[in-house]
Amino acid sequence: MDVLEAIKGRRSIRMYKADLVPEELMRVLVEAGQWAPTGANRQNWKFIAVTDPKLMRSVKRISPMMWGEAPAAIFICQDLTRSRAPPEGGSGRTTGFVSQNIMLAAYSLGLGTCPIGGFNRAAARDLLDVPDDMVPLLLITVGYPDETPEVRLRRPFSEVAYLNSCRNPWRVGDE
């Protein structure tokens, strides 16, 4: 799949089919996350892939912003042993890079995803046996889509982009 096609086609999926996601595909997604850039190549992330249906029900209970029944999830965690930034600091950029890699890879494999920041971190620590030197930052649900969300329009290019100066809106074609 073309990268630009994936960027423009990916949607947040909240309704999933009941089909389980194979462990091999979850591994591909985690590996995609591993290839995200980090400052000074610290690679200050760790991942917890969740595929067990019973555990997923518990994840849903601690995640009020999770809608629908996802068959799998990936928690992106900050590895404090490899990071100088506090969890609410520079690691947010890294989490963004990592999550985008995972979500685009999933889309290219026919899987749907949805990033969720609204989960109880303390409860996630307990549920997943997360050690003190790891901080769960983002949860991405994963599964086979059971919905096709509409494309949401984007603002005109000339309203968001400038060429060489903010006095020069970048106009393209017939906007």
- Tell me which of 21-35, 74-88, 158-172 is least confident: 74-88
Residue 16 resides in a domain: yes
Residue 92 has a pLDDT of 67
Residue 97 resides in a domain: yes
123: nearest Cα among 142, 141, 139: 139
Residue 165 resides in a domain: no
Residue 156 resides in a domain: no
Residue 36 resides in a domain: yes
DSSP state of 13: -
| CA R_g for the chain | 18
Q: Residue 22 is part of which domain span?
A: 3-147
Query: What is the tens place of the pLDDT at every residue in 113-128?
Result: 999 999 999 999 999 9
Residue 173 has a pLDDT of 74
Residue 98 has a pLDDT of 96
pTM of the predicted model as reported, rounded to 2 decimal places? 0.91
Query: What is the tens place of the pLDDT at every residue in 133-170?
Result: 999 999 999 999 999 998 888 899 989 999 999 999 99
Count of domains for the chain: 1
Q: What b/e string do you get for 138-163 counting C-beta neighbours within 10 Å, with b at 16 or more?
A: bbbbbbbbeeeeeeeeeeeeeeeeee
Q: In this model, does residue 1 exceed pLDDT 80?
A: no
**Separation between Cα atoms, residue 3 and residue 157, nearest integer Å:** 20
Residue 119 resides in a domain: yes
| Average pLDDT over the chain, rounded to an integer | 92
* Residues 115, 81 contacting (CB under 8 angstroms): no
- Domain harbouring 109, CATH code: 3.40.109.10
Residue 170 resides in a domain: no
Residue 80 resides in a domain: yes
The two beta strands, 134-143 and 112-116, are antiparallel
